[in-house]
Amino acid sequence: MTILVTGGAGYIGSHTVLQLIEGGFDVVVLDNLSNSSQESLRRVESLVSKAIPFVEGDINDKAVLSSLFSRYDIDAVIHFAGLKSVGESVKNPIDYYINNVSGSLQLLDAMRKANVKKFIFSSSATVYGNHSPVPNLEHYPIGNASCPYGTTKVMLEQILSDYAKADSEMKIIALRYFNPTGAHPSGLIGEDPNGIPNNLVPYISQVAIGKLAKLAVYGGDYDTVDGTGVRDFIHVDDLAAGHVCALKYFDSMSGYEIFNLGTGHGVSVLQVIDAFEKASNQKIKYEIVARREGDIASSWADATKAEKVLGWKAKYDIIDMMKHTWNWQKQNPNGYESQ
Ligand code: NAD
Ligand code: UFG
């Protein structure tokens, strides 16, 4: 079975490509390298001792897509390609709608022409918006995303649901990721953000390695266990495993299905700092400052549907996530750039 992985050179994509190959799938990666380096795939190749077919190109490029689908006999598509920065999406919404929404439509159109009927989409907990009760359940209403990035995910879920209704042969799974973190235990692949990280764990790990002086903890007065924000951090290898389970589930489903991928547990910002310190033996300097605009107090998944239906459950805890993040950071202080 051959799987097209768009965005396969990126953070979650590279970990998933590794597990797909380990699981016996053939993989073709399409990535425009706008937020990644091909070095991630070279490292996956070294882990699996196998060459990975790679097409450098854009999901918005019809010619690239049609030649890819005629060259390879694709059975299913896992679609990671997309821009994901919340702040950037507020500044450049048009870029986000073109890249994420229009790009996904081009991809679906090319799949339709090539008669490819299985599609897994990277959605996000952000679709639950600001007012959803926790834990989030898949049937809760979605919308009111806090930024254009989030809105692209809401729009795409709607498009996918409409498409699955219109074509009874289409099988579509949307996976709503909570807060992906961690790295492969080898330390060979991991998260390599551009510039100063916006997300908590990459920021902490750059404080630990000495690239950044101090973490700003956004808000100490939320109605949570210790006043700081609470999130459902999920190990990237657990997420990757969720995609393999979803692919296997295609045989027993029809239409459109949504699954939360999270641990089902919330962890506060201060608890993450504590776990990182324990896992790395490093002290993290931090200061509690004002809340960040657009943040919610708490977000965590009800992940029982994925467990019951897909047979998937997260196995790593927050200490493992921090240990693996630190292992990756220490071995690759400049990410995939040569050191
Ligand atoms: P990433 O930026 O590391 O990976 C995305 C990959 O897609 C990159 O390699 C990038 O070069 C590529 N890409 C972007 N636009 C493209 C285009 N037009 N054509 C071809 N390739 C393109 O991000 P990630 O963290 O691995 O996220 C993967 C997916 O998961 C994204 O869709 C993201 O929105 C979603 N997601 C991520 C998170 C998270 O916190 N990391 C949370 C929820 C959902
Ligand atoms: N935080 C800090 N300091 C920082 C960065 C973050 O205190 O420097 C706090 C935030 O205020 C929040 C928590 O750490 O309470 C997590 O923040 P992240 O930025 O790491 O993650 P978010 O939950 O805000 O959002 C992330 C992705 C979104 C995605 C969402 C759900 O950035 O794209 O997870 O999947 F939609």
| Atom of ligand 2 minimally distant from the CA of 269 | 14
Task: Kindly identify the ligand whose nearest atom is closest to the C-alpha of 228.
Answer: 2
| Atom of ligand 1 minimally distant from the CA of 177 | 43
Nearest Cα residue to atom 7 of ligand 2: 217
Q: Which of 259, 293, 270, 120 is nearest to 178 (CA)?
A: 259
Ligand 1, CB within 6 Å, residue ranges: 6-7, 9-13, 31-36, 58-60, 80-84, 99, 103, 122, 124, 177, 180
Distance from the alpha carbon of residue 333 to the mean position of ligand 1, in angstroms: 21
d(CA 339, CA 336): 8
d(CA 216, CA 330): 22
Q: Which of 292, 240, 233, 241 is nearest to 267 (CA)?
A: 233
Catalytic residue among 11, 96, 128, 149: 149
Contacts of the segment 95-103: beta carbons below 8 A, 24+ positions apart = 96/148, 96/149, 96/152, 97/148, 97/152, 98/60, 99/60, 100/149, 100/152, 100/153, 100/156, 101/152, 101/155, 101/156, 101/159, 102/60, 103/58, 103/59, 103/60
Structure pTM?
A: 0.98
C-alpha torsion sign, points 277, 260, 15, 32: negative
d(CA 42, CA 45): 5
The pLDDT of residue 292 is: 96
Backbone φ and ψ for 104, nearest 5 degrees, come out as -65, -35
Distance from the alpha carbon of residue 64 to the mean position of ligand 1, in angstroms: 19
Distance from the alpha carbon of residue 243 to the mean position of ligand 2, in angstroms: 23
Q: Which of 133, 219, 233, 221 is nearest to 182 (CA)?
A: 233
Per-residue pLDDT for the chain (339 aa), expressed as one digit of tens each? 999 999 999 999 999 999 999 999 999 999 999 999 999 999 999 999 999 999 999 999 999 999 999 999 999 999 999 999 999 999 999 999 999 999 999 999 999 999 999 999 999 999 999 889 999 999 999 998 989 999 999 999 999 999 999 999 999 999 999 999 999 999 999 999 999 999 999 999 999 999 999 999 999 999 999 999 999 999 999 999 999 999 999 999 999 999 999 999 999 999 999 999 999 999 999 999 999 998 999 999 999 999 999 999 999 999 999 999 999 999 999 999 865
b/e for 267-294, b at 16 or more Cβ within 10 A?
bbbbbbbbbbeebbebebebeeeeeeee
DSSP secondary structure letter of residue 146: S
Q: 39, 19 in Cβ contact below 8 A?
A: no
Identify whether 203 is a catalytic site residue: no
d(CA 227, CA 206): 24
From 295, 298, 299, the mutation candidate for ligand 2 (largest count of ligand atoms within 8 A of CB) is 295
Q: Which of 35, 33, 3, 32 is nearest to 16 (CA)?
A: 3
b/e for 5-32, b at 16 or more Cβ within 10 A?
bbbbbbbbbbbbbbbbbebebbbbbbbb
Ligand 2, CB within 6 Å, residue ranges: 84, 86, 124-126, 177-179, 198-200, 203, 215-218, 229, 231, 269, 292, 295
Nearest Cα residue to atom 36 of ligand 2: 126
The pLDDT of residue 130 is: 85
The pLDDT of residue 86 is: 94
